[in-house]
Amino acid sequence: MVQTSRRTDSCSIQGTLDVIGDRWILLILRDLFRGVRRFSQLEENLGIAKNLLATRLAKLVQADIVTKIPYQDRPVRHEYLLTQKGRDLSPSLVALMRWGDRWYNDKKPPTLLVHSDCGTPLTQLTQCPACGDSLDPAEIRSRPGPGAAISS
What distance in Å separates the CA atoms of residue 51 and residue 137, rounded to the nearest whole number?
A: 40
Query: What does the chain come to in residues?
Result: 152
What distance in Å separates the CA atoms of residue 75 and residue 64, rounded to the nearest whole number?
A: 25
pLDDT of res. 5:
45
**Are 65 and 83 in contact, with CB atoms under 8 Å apart?**
yes
pLDDT exceeds 80 at position 6: no
Q: How do residues 81-139 score in pLDDT, each as one tens digit?
A: 999 999 999 999 999 999 999 999 988 899 988 999 999 988 888 888 899 888 888 88
Question: What pTM, to 2 d.p., does this model score?
Answer: 0.83
DSSP state at residue 139: G
**CA–CA distance from 114 to each of 81, 89, 92 (Å)?**
21, 17, 16
The pLDDT of 60-72, averaged and rounded, is: 97
**CA–CA distance from 113 to each of 103, 117, 134 (Å)?**
18, 12, 20
For residue 18, name the pLDDT band (cuts at 50, 70, 90). Answer: very high
The pLDDT of 136-147, averaged and rounded, is: 85
pLDDT exceeds 70 at position 151: no
pLDDT of res. 23:
96
Q: What angle do CA 14, 15, 17 make, to 5 degrees?
A: 65
Sign of the alpha-carbon dihedral angle for 131, 133, 138, 144: positive
Look at the domain 11-139 and name its fold. Arc Repressor Mutant, subunit A (1.10.10)
pLDDT exceeds 80 at position 8: no
pLDDT exceeds 80 at position 2: no
**Are 60 and 42 in contact, with CB atoms under 8 Å apart?**
no
CA 20, distance to chain mean position in Å, is 7
pLDDT exceeds 80 at position 149: no
Q: How do residues 37-65 score in pLDDT, each as one tens digit?
A: 999 999 999 999 999 999 999 999 999 99
Q: Are strands 66-72 and 77-82 parallel, antiparallel or unpaired?
A: antiparallel
